[in-house]
Each structure stands twice: as structure tokens, then as C-alpha cells.
Amino acid sequence: MARGGGQRVLYVDDEPAISHVAARVLQSLGYEPSCYVDPTEAVLDFERAPDDFDAVVTDLDMPRMGGLTLMARIRGHRPDIPVIVSTGLTLEDEALMASLEDVVVIEKADMRTQLGRALADALRREG
């Protein structure tokens, strides 16, 4: 199982239950999560201290601000930050995948394995 080394992860999902589970999963994998259910609040906190985060994991489909918009705002401050998009959609949508060419996309169904592997890989490339 891929593990982190205390890196700080901004995690955004509008479903409180999923954010709660993600916090526990990320902690168990050795990361320090900052979880948000409000994408606007997450972006504002990121903008206050963009260098305090090592990676971002965001849901794709959220009200008020979707994951692609959130990613664009965050990368406006830190173009180099690894971003992982977690989605309940199938990964067979080719148009969606093309728009996310520089982003790792994982399915929510297997969060622990896919999230752990995706974060370890993304952070290894940045380090």
C-alpha cells in the first residue's frame, strides 16, 4: 500500500460523509488532510497559504463550483501542485478524460487503494 510522509492534502467533496471517510483514509495513509465540503471555502483557504499544501484532491461534480473550476483557481496560484480528481462518474467518458490530461483521475468506489497510489505517484513526480 502506497503511503505518505505527512504531506498536507487539500481534499474537497460536497458530500460530508465522503469527506469524513476521506479524512480517515488519508490519515491512515500518512497524510495530513484538510477536508472541505464547500469548494469556495477550500479555494479561499488555499489562496491564503498556497504553499502550505502539497497536493489537492477534488470531486468533479459539485454545486456552486465544480472540480475543474476549483482546479483552475488553485493552479492560478500554484501551477505545479499535483491535482487528483475523484469522481463517481465512469472513467470511460473520453471528452472528460481529454480535458483532464495533466490530472490524475480516480473513481470514488475504491478510494483507499486508488487515492493512496495516486497521491504517492503525484507527490513522487513533484519531489
Q: Is the pLDDT of residue 30 over 70?
A: yes
Q: Where are the domains of the chain?
A: 8-126
- H or E stretch at 108: none
Instruction: Provide DSSP, 64-104.
Output: SS-HHHHHHHHHHH-TTS-EEEEESS-TT-HHHHHHTTTSE
pTM listed for this prediction: 0.80
Return the higher-pLDDT residue of 44 and 63.
Answer: 44
For domain 8-126, the CATH superfamily is Response regulator (3.40.50.2300)
Confidence of residue 101 (pLDDT cuts 50, 70, 90): low
Return the higher-pLDDT residue of 97 and 76.
Answer: 76
Using alpha carbons, list the distances in angstroms from residue 43 to 37, 86, 87, 91. 11, 17, 19, 25
